[in-house]
Every structure is written in C-alpha cells, then in structure tokens.
Amino acid sequence: MIDTKSKHSVDELIINPPDIYIQKSEIHGLGVFAAKDFKLGNTIETFPLMPMAFRTNYQGDPIVYNYTYVNYMCKCDECKRHGYVLYLPMGYGNMYNHQEELFNAKVETHFDSFYAEVIATKQIDKYSEIYINYGSRYLFRDGKVLKHEDHPG
C-alpha cells in the first residue's frame, strides 16, 4: 500500500461505491467485482479508514491484524514505542482478494485524512473480479503470506 498526501477534502469523497459489488469469488470467499468497465487510472472505490485504539504491539487477534491497514511509514515516537496504528477499512476495503501476479488495482492510503482509494492499474472489464496485491507486509502469525486455500475461513 502506498502512503501519499491526500488530494481531496472529506466532503469530496464518494463513500457509496455504485460501480462495484460483492459476490462469491473463485479465489476465496467473497470478492469485489466491477459493475462497469474501468480504465487504467480510474478510481474504483474510496473508503474511510477508522483508526483503532490498540496499536500493532498490543493487537493479539491475527484476523483483526490481517484485515486492517497499517501506516508502516510513520516514524513518530509513539509508533516506535507502542507499534503502528491499525486502521479498520470501511466500505469494501477489506473485501478485495489478493492476486500477486494478476492484480488489476492498487490501494493508495491517505492516513492523514483517514481514507483510501482503490485505483485501476489496468483495464478491468464489467463483471470481472478486482484484485489487489497485499504486498510484502501482509503477514500472518508465522510471518508468511497465507495462501487462500490455507485460510481457515
């Protein structure tokens, strides 16, 4: 995930994504699908990020940890002492499935303004599943990326 300075004010954000929907995925559980064609660079969804009270050093639930966004770029004393802030994604933010090589979208996080955007990285056809790459920091208990077929859910 990319941490960038926000370019929108809160009143400009479109929270209700009319152009995407949730349905059963062939990859894992449910996924996010395109209700229209998206071109390279189109914003697919903008969703709020809610900061959580417990930082990474105190979060013991691996499911919560795995379905939140973390601002690993922060270098403040609080993050050094207590771990990074976890942000709970709203909207469909935690419903996107991972495809390392076939991803067709990326997430740009704006932690300073408490929102994130899903941006098309290539053409996405209507009715296609939208995939993101969770990245190297998406870790589970043993420090390895979990394959979908190994997921307990």
For 35-92, how does the pLDDT look when each residue is reduced to its tens digit (9 = 90+)? 999 999 999 999 999 998 888 888 878 777 778 888 888 899 988 999 889 899 998 8
Sequence-distant (6+) residues with CB within 8 A of 105 are 44, 96, 118, 119, 120, 121, 124, 130, 131, 132
Q: Rounded to whole angstroms, what are the CA distances from 94 to 23, 63, 81?
A: 14, 11, 27
How would CATH label the architecture of 2-8+38-146?
Answer: Beta Complex (2.170)
- Give the helix, strand, coil percentages of the chain, each rounded to 5: 15, 30, 55
Task: Write down the pLDDT at residue 30.
Answer: 87
Residue 101, pLDDT above cutoff 70? yes
For tokens 């190994």, the residue is: 150
Nearest Cα neighbor of 105 from 123, 131, 79, 87 is 131
Predicted local confidence at residue 138, as pLDDT: 53
Q: What percent of the chain has pLDDT over 70?
A: 76
Q: What is the pLDDT of residue 118?
A: 94
Residues 62 and 153: beta-carbon distance below 8 Å: no
